[in-house]
């Protein structure tokens, strides 16, 4: 039996709302004249399913260090602009031991604190994930040329994956297969040049890393089969 493929959509930037809350548009509505890089767009008529909330993940659970842990839950609300996601980041007790092993005593607090800094600096955005076989589209055809100019997304069920991801340079939604998503090495010990936008206070040390470890920096890179987007978190 073939495994169902996940597809993801980059939403809007995440804002700090005070009292530990965060919020932003998980999905933004658009029109045929302003589709994403692949020609897709969402509208108020898109069927997002019945979910009223969603677990929060980090980079769709693809981060080689953090892996598949839930770091909060957000409520989902439809507005005139898009689907608004709001909630509090909080590591569940079952994952605290893992984060302490990776980042030392108070590991979960350090990890969430660093995410809070990146959110304050608008380096983090929303990205929703859903199963490809549950997504449906409608071709929008130019009446004059007879050519397809965009694809209206009719169905995109939410509630499984509201991920925090480094904000893409492209402001519009971008729908891509999960296999084309390259997670950002936020917790990598590779020797690389530090991006100008990342300061010394924006790194998180891993006590469990090798003795000759290097500081851990924020590196933002997206790769797709048809286009490569690179950013330095300068939004």
For the chain, the domains span 6-183
Neighbours of 139 (CB within 10 A): 11
The overall average pLDDT reported for the chain is 77
pLDDT tens digits, 15-26: 999 888 999 999
pLDDT category of residue 75 using cuts at 50, 70 and 90: very high
Checking if the pLDDT of 133 tops 80, the result is yes
Q: Quick one: what percent of the chain has pLDDT higher than 90?
A: 41
**CA-to-CA distance for 179 and 7, rounded, in angstroms?**
8
pLDDT tens digits, 88-125: 999 888 888 888 888 888 888 888 888 888 888 888 88
pLDDT category of residue 195 using cuts at 50, 70 and 90: very low
Sequential DSSP letters for 82-129: EEEEEEEE---HHHHHHHHHHH-TTHHHHHHHHHHHHHHTT-EEEEEE
Look at residue 3 in the predicted model and tell me its pLDDT. 54
Burial environment of residue 179 by CB neighbours within 10 A (0 to 12, 13 to 18, 19 or more): exposed
Q: Look-up: residue for tokens 């590591």?
A: 91
Give the pLDDT mean for 155-169: 87
In this structure, is the dihedral angle defined by the CA atoms of residues 199, 85, 131 and 149, taken in order, positive or negative? negative
Look at residue 123 in the predicted model and tell me its pLDDT. 84
Look at residue 203 in the predicted model and tell me its pLDDT. 44
Checking if the pLDDT of 207 tops 90, the result is no
Q: Quick one: what percent of the chain has pLDDT higher than 70?
A: 69
pLDDT category of residue 229 using cuts at 50, 70 and 90: very low
Give the pLDDT mean for 188-214: 39
pLDDT category of residue 172 using cuts at 50, 70 and 90: low
Neighbours of 165 (CB within 10 A): 24
Look at residue 12 in the predicted model and tell me its pLDDT. 86
Look at residue 18 in the predicted model and tell me its pLDDT. 86
The two beta strands, 15-18 and 21-28, are antiparallel
Give the pLDDT mean for 183-212: 43
Give the pLDDT mean for 121-130: 89
Look at residue 170 in the predicted model and tell me its pLDDT. 52
The token duo for 231 is: 């950013």
Return the higher-pLDDT residue of 102 and 193.
Answer: 102
What pTM does this model have? 0.75
């Amino acid at each position: 039996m073939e495994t169902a493929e996940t597809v993801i959509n980059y939403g809007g930037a995440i804002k700090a709302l005070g009292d530990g809350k965060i919020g932003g548009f998980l999905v933004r509505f658009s029109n045929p004249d302003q589709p994403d890089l692949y020609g897709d767009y969402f509208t108020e008529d898109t069927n997002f399913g019945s979910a009223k909330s969603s677990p929060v993940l980090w980079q769709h659970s693809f981060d080689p260090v953090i892996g598949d842990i839930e770091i909060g839950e957000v409520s989902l609300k439809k507005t005139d602009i898009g689907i608004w996601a709001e909630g509090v980041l909080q590591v569940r007790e079952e994952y605290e031991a893992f984060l302490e092993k990776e980042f030392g005593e108070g590991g979960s607090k350090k990890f969430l604190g660093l995410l809070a800094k990146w959110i304050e600096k608008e380096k983090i955005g929303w990205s929703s994930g859903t199963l490809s076989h549950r997504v449906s589209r409608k071709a929008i055809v130019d009446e004059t040329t007879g050519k397809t100019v965009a694809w209206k997304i009719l169905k995109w069920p939410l509630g499984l994956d509201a991920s925090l991801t480094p904000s893409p340079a492209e402001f519009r939604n971008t729908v891509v297969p999960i296999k084309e998503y390259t997670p950002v090495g936020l917790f990598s010990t590779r020797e690389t040049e530090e991006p100008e936008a990342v300061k010394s206070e924006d790194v998180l040390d891993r006590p469990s890393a090798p003795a000759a470890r290097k500081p851990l920096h924020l590196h933002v890179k997206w790769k797709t089969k048809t286009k490569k987007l690179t950013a330095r978190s300068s939004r």
